[in-house]
Copies of this chain bind each other. A is one copy, B any other.
Amino acid sequence: MQKIYVVKIGGEIVDLPDRLDEFLVKFARITEPKILVHGGGRQVSDLAKRLDIPVKISDGRRITDKETLRLVAMIYAGLINKTVVAKLQGLNCSAVGLSGADGQLIIAEKRSGSEIDYGYAGDIRSINAKFLKLLIENDQVPVLCSLTADTAGQLLNTNADTIATETAIAMKEHFKPVLHFLTDQPGFMENIEDETSVIHTIDRLTYEREKAEGSVAGGMLPKMDNAFRAVEKGVEAVYISDFSKFPDFASGTRLV
Protein backbone atom coordinates (compact mmCIF):
# COMPACT_ATOMS: atom_id res chain seq x y z
CA MET A 1 0.00 0.00 0.00
CA GLN A 2 1.09 3.55 -0.70
CA LYS A 3 2.25 5.84 2.09
CA ILE A 4 0.18 8.88 3.02
CA TYR A 5 1.43 11.69 5.24
CA VAL A 6 -1.05 13.21 7.68
CA VAL A 7 0.64 16.28 9.12
CA LYS A 8 -0.87 18.36 11.89
CA ILE A 9 0.23 21.92 12.63
CA GLY A 10 -1.05 24.15 15.42
CA GLY A 11 -1.04 27.75 16.54
CA GLU A 12 2.72 27.83 17.11
CA ILE A 13 3.13 27.63 13.31
CA VAL A 14 -0.15 29.00 11.99
CA ASP A 15 0.00 32.24 14.00
CA LEU A 16 3.41 33.24 12.66
CA PRO A 17 3.46 34.01 8.91
CA ASP A 18 7.23 33.46 8.50
CA ARG A 19 7.13 30.07 10.20
CA LEU A 20 4.05 29.10 8.23
CA ASP A 21 5.66 30.05 4.91
CA GLU A 22 8.83 28.16 5.78
CA PHE A 23 6.83 25.07 6.71
CA LEU A 24 4.57 25.18 3.64
CA VAL A 25 7.53 25.31 1.26
CA LYS A 26 8.77 22.05 2.79
CA PHE A 27 5.31 20.49 2.97
CA ALA A 28 4.65 21.28 -0.71
CA ARG A 29 7.81 19.34 -1.64
CA ILE A 30 6.56 15.99 -0.27
CA THR A 31 5.88 13.93 -3.36
CA GLU A 32 3.76 11.23 -1.67
CA PRO A 33 0.03 11.68 -1.03
CA LYS A 34 -0.51 14.02 1.91
CA ILE A 35 -3.11 15.69 4.11
CA LEU A 36 -2.57 18.80 6.21
CA VAL A 37 -4.58 19.40 9.38
CA HIS A 38 -4.36 22.78 11.06
CA GLY A 39 -5.50 24.12 14.39
CA GLY A 40 -6.14 27.69 15.33
CA GLY A 41 -3.88 29.23 17.92
CA ARG A 42 -4.48 32.62 19.44
CA GLN A 43 -6.41 34.23 16.60
CA VAL A 44 -9.90 33.30 17.80
CA SER A 45 -9.15 34.62 21.28
CA ASP A 46 -7.57 37.77 19.83
CA LEU A 47 -10.62 38.49 17.67
CA ALA A 48 -12.95 37.72 20.60
CA LYS A 49 -11.09 40.27 22.69
CA ARG A 50 -11.38 42.94 19.98
CA LEU A 51 -15.12 42.25 19.75
CA ASP A 52 -15.65 42.14 23.53
CA ILE A 53 -16.75 38.52 23.42
CA PRO A 54 -15.69 36.74 26.62
CA VAL A 55 -13.15 33.95 26.15
CA LYS A 56 -13.98 30.94 28.32
CA ILE A 57 -11.44 28.16 28.77
CA SER A 58 -11.89 25.22 31.13
CA ASP A 59 -9.13 22.66 31.69
CA GLY A 60 -7.26 23.96 28.65
CA ARG A 61 -10.29 23.50 26.40
CA ARG A 62 -12.27 26.29 24.86
CA ILE A 63 -15.93 26.61 25.79
CA THR A 64 -17.61 27.38 22.48
CA ASP A 65 -20.75 29.46 22.87
CA LYS A 66 -22.76 30.63 19.86
CA GLU A 67 -20.74 33.79 19.29
CA THR A 68 -17.43 31.98 19.70
CA LEU A 69 -18.54 29.32 17.20
CA ARG A 70 -19.01 32.08 14.62
CA LEU A 71 -15.45 33.27 15.26
CA VAL A 72 -14.17 29.69 14.99
CA ALA A 73 -15.85 29.34 11.57
CA MET A 74 -14.43 32.71 10.46
CA ILE A 75 -10.86 32.14 11.61
CA TYR A 76 -10.34 28.40 11.12
CA ALA A 77 -12.41 27.69 7.99
CA GLY A 78 -12.11 31.18 6.50
CA LEU A 79 -8.94 33.12 7.23
CA ILE A 80 -6.43 30.40 8.15
CA ASN A 81 -7.70 27.66 5.85
CA LYS A 82 -7.88 29.82 2.73
CA THR A 83 -4.58 31.56 3.45
CA VAL A 84 -2.88 28.15 3.70
CA VAL A 85 -4.61 26.80 0.58
CA ALA A 86 -3.76 29.86 -1.53
CA LYS A 87 -0.13 29.76 -0.37
CA LEU A 88 0.08 26.07 -1.35
CA GLN A 89 -1.32 26.90 -4.80
CA GLY A 90 1.40 29.53 -5.07
CA LEU A 91 3.90 26.70 -4.42
CA ASN A 92 2.45 24.54 -7.22
CA CYS A 93 0.73 22.25 -4.74
CA SER A 94 -2.96 22.08 -5.54
CA ALA A 95 -4.82 22.06 -2.26
CA VAL A 96 -8.49 21.91 -1.29
CA GLY A 97 -9.46 23.43 2.03
CA LEU A 98 -12.17 21.60 3.89
CA SER A 99 -14.10 21.71 7.11
CA GLY A 100 -15.75 18.57 8.42
CA ALA A 101 -19.03 19.81 6.95
CA ASP A 102 -17.69 19.74 3.38
CA GLY A 103 -18.42 16.49 1.59
CA GLN A 104 -19.68 15.09 4.93
CA LEU A 105 -15.99 14.69 5.61
CA ILE A 106 -16.24 14.54 9.40
CA ILE A 107 -19.52 13.77 11.05
CA ALA A 108 -19.45 14.91 14.65
CA GLU A 109 -21.79 15.04 17.61
CA LYS A 110 -22.19 17.81 20.17
CA ARG A 111 -20.30 16.76 23.29
CA SER A 112 -22.63 15.77 26.09
CA GLY A 113 -22.41 13.92 29.36
CA SER A 114 -19.32 15.74 30.61
CA GLU A 115 -19.56 17.72 33.82
CA ILE A 116 -18.60 20.91 32.05
CA ASP A 117 -20.81 22.20 29.23
CA TYR A 118 -18.34 22.84 26.40
CA GLY A 119 -21.04 24.38 24.23
CA TYR A 120 -20.68 23.77 20.49
CA ALA A 121 -17.81 21.30 20.83
CA GLY A 122 -17.98 18.27 18.57
CA ASP A 123 -16.73 14.73 19.09
CA ILE A 124 -15.98 12.80 15.91
CA ARG A 125 -18.30 9.99 14.84
CA SER A 126 -16.95 9.20 11.39
CA ILE A 127 -14.51 10.29 8.68
CA ASN A 128 -15.35 10.08 4.97
CA ALA A 129 -12.15 8.38 3.80
CA LYS A 130 -13.66 7.77 0.36
CA PHE A 131 -14.01 11.50 -0.30
CA LEU A 132 -10.43 12.17 0.82
CA LYS A 133 -9.24 9.36 -1.44
CA LEU A 134 -11.16 10.83 -4.38
CA LEU A 135 -9.42 14.19 -3.92
CA ILE A 136 -5.99 12.64 -3.47
CA GLU A 137 -6.38 10.45 -6.55
CA ASN A 138 -7.14 13.64 -8.44
CA ASP A 139 -3.89 15.26 -7.29
CA GLN A 140 -5.46 17.47 -4.67
CA VAL A 141 -4.05 17.91 -1.19
CA PRO A 142 -6.81 18.09 1.45
CA VAL A 143 -6.24 20.84 4.03
CA LEU A 144 -8.51 20.24 7.02
CA CYS A 145 -9.48 22.80 9.60
CA SER A 146 -10.84 22.05 13.05
CA LEU A 147 -14.50 22.76 12.35
CA THR A 148 -17.02 19.94 11.92
CA ALA A 149 -20.81 19.55 11.76
CA ASP A 150 -23.43 17.13 13.01
CA THR A 151 -25.93 15.41 10.74
CA ALA A 152 -28.54 18.08 11.48
CA GLY A 153 -26.32 20.82 10.02
CA GLN A 154 -24.99 22.32 13.26
CA LEU A 155 -21.38 23.47 13.03
CA LEU A 156 -19.13 22.30 15.87
CA ASN A 157 -15.65 23.16 17.12
CA THR A 158 -13.42 20.06 17.14
CA ASN A 159 -9.87 19.55 18.37
CA ALA A 160 -7.36 19.49 15.50
CA ASP A 161 -5.13 16.81 17.09
CA THR A 162 -8.16 14.52 17.27
CA ILE A 163 -9.03 15.26 13.63
CA ALA A 164 -5.48 14.35 12.59
CA THR A 165 -5.61 11.10 14.58
CA GLU A 166 -9.01 10.01 13.30
CA THR A 167 -8.08 10.96 9.73
CA ALA A 168 -4.91 8.86 9.87
CA ILE A 169 -6.87 5.92 11.28
CA ALA A 170 -9.56 6.26 8.60
CA MET A 171 -7.01 6.43 5.77
CA LYS A 172 -5.64 3.00 6.76
CA GLU A 173 -8.34 1.53 4.53
CA HIS A 174 -6.62 2.87 1.41
CA PHE A 175 -3.07 3.88 2.39
CA LYS A 176 -0.28 3.30 4.86
CA PRO A 177 -0.59 6.44 7.00
CA VAL A 178 2.32 8.26 8.60
CA LEU A 179 1.05 10.67 11.24
CA HIS A 180 3.05 13.71 12.30
CA PHE A 181 2.25 16.16 15.06
CA LEU A 182 4.47 19.20 14.60
CA THR A 183 5.06 21.49 17.56
CA ASP A 184 7.64 24.00 18.69
CA GLN A 185 9.16 21.40 21.01
CA PRO A 186 11.78 18.89 19.91
CA GLY A 187 9.58 15.93 20.87
CA PHE A 188 8.58 14.20 24.06
CA MET A 189 11.15 15.14 26.69
CA GLU A 190 11.92 13.39 29.96
CA ASN A 191 12.73 16.76 31.44
CA ILE A 192 10.91 19.66 29.79
CA GLU A 193 13.67 22.03 30.90
CA ASP A 194 16.23 20.02 28.96
CA GLU A 195 15.87 19.87 25.19
CA THR A 196 18.46 17.10 24.97
CA SER A 197 16.24 14.78 27.03
CA VAL A 198 14.04 13.87 24.06
CA ILE A 199 12.92 10.25 24.19
CA HIS A 200 13.24 9.09 20.58
CA THR A 201 11.06 6.01 20.93
CA ILE A 202 8.35 5.68 23.53
CA ASP A 203 5.70 3.06 24.21
CA ARG A 204 2.53 3.43 26.21
CA LEU A 205 3.92 1.86 29.37
CA THR A 206 6.86 4.22 29.54
CA TYR A 207 4.57 7.15 28.80
CA GLU A 208 2.12 6.19 31.56
CA ARG A 209 5.03 5.91 33.99
CA GLU A 210 6.27 9.39 33.02
CA LYS A 211 2.74 10.70 33.38
CA ALA A 212 2.34 9.18 36.85
CA GLU A 213 5.63 10.80 37.86
CA GLY A 214 4.14 14.12 36.79
CA SER A 215 6.91 14.88 34.33
CA VAL A 216 4.65 15.47 31.30
CA ALA A 217 3.95 19.13 30.47
CA GLY A 218 0.27 20.13 30.33
CA GLY A 219 0.03 20.89 26.62
CA MET A 220 1.75 17.63 25.69
CA LEU A 221 -0.76 15.41 27.54
CA PRO A 222 -3.75 15.51 25.13
CA LYS A 223 -1.37 15.38 22.16
CA MET A 224 0.32 12.22 23.48
CA ASP A 225 -3.02 10.62 24.33
CA ASN A 226 -4.24 11.33 20.80
CA ALA A 227 -1.03 10.04 19.29
CA PHE A 228 -1.21 6.79 21.27
CA ARG A 229 -4.79 6.29 20.17
CA ALA A 230 -3.51 6.30 16.57
CA VAL A 231 -0.82 3.75 17.44
CA GLU A 232 -3.35 1.49 19.13
CA LYS A 233 -5.70 1.72 16.16
CA GLY A 234 -2.93 0.46 13.89
CA VAL A 235 -1.24 3.59 12.52
CA GLU A 236 2.29 2.25 12.42
CA ALA A 237 4.24 5.48 12.20
CA VAL A 238 3.30 8.24 14.63
CA TYR A 239 5.70 11.08 15.44
CA ILE A 240 5.80 14.21 17.55
CA SER A 241 8.55 16.57 16.51
CA ASP A 242 9.78 20.11 15.99
CA PHE A 243 8.26 21.76 12.91
CA SER A 244 11.55 23.50 12.11
CA LYS A 245 13.21 20.09 11.57
CA PHE A 246 10.44 18.98 9.17
CA PRO A 247 10.61 16.68 7.19
CA ASP A 248 13.48 15.14 9.21
CA PHE A 249 11.64 13.39 12.00
CA ALA A 250 14.52 11.34 13.40
CA SER A 251 15.23 14.07 15.97
CA GLY A 252 11.72 13.86 17.44
CA THR A 253 9.74 11.19 19.27
CA ARG A 254 8.27 8.13 17.64
CA LEU A 255 5.39 6.47 19.47
CA VAL A 256 5.25 2.71 19.29
Q: Enumerate chain A interface residues (CB-CB to B < 8 A).
A: 50-51, 70, 73-79, 81-83, 85-91, 94-99, 101-104, 131, 134, 138, 140, 147, 149, 151-155
Q: Is the CB of B73 within 8 A of A79?
A: yes
Nearest-neighbour CB distance to chain B for A144, whole angstroms, equals 12
- Within the oligomer, what is the number of copies of this chain? 2
Q: Which residue of B lies closest to A143 (CB)?
A: B102
Chain B hits for A147, CB < 8 A: 82
Given contacts A74-B74, A89-B151, A90-B152, contact A82 B97 (CB under 8 A): no
Give the CA-CA distance A51 to B85 in the complex, in Å.
Answer: 26
Centre residue among A51, A77, A86 by max chain B CB count within 10 A: A86
Q: Is the CB of A77 within 8 A of B82?
A: yes
Q: Which of B77, B90, B101, B154 contacts A153 (CB 8 A)?
A: B90
Give the CA-CA distance A79 to B86 in the complex, in Å.
Answer: 18
Q: Is the CB of B101 within 8 A of A82?
A: yes
Give the CA-CA distance A76 to B154 in the complex, in Å.
Answer: 18
Centre residue among A81, A96, A102 by max chain B CB count within 10 A: A102
Give the CA-CA distance A220 to B90 in the complex, in Å.
Answer: 36
Q: Is the CB of B154 within 8 A of A86?
A: yes
Chain B hits for A152, CB < 8 A: 90
Q: Is the CB of B89 within 8 A of A78?
A: no
Q: Is the CB of B50 within 8 A of A151?
A: no
Nearest-neighbour CB distance to chain B for A20, whole angstroms, equals 12
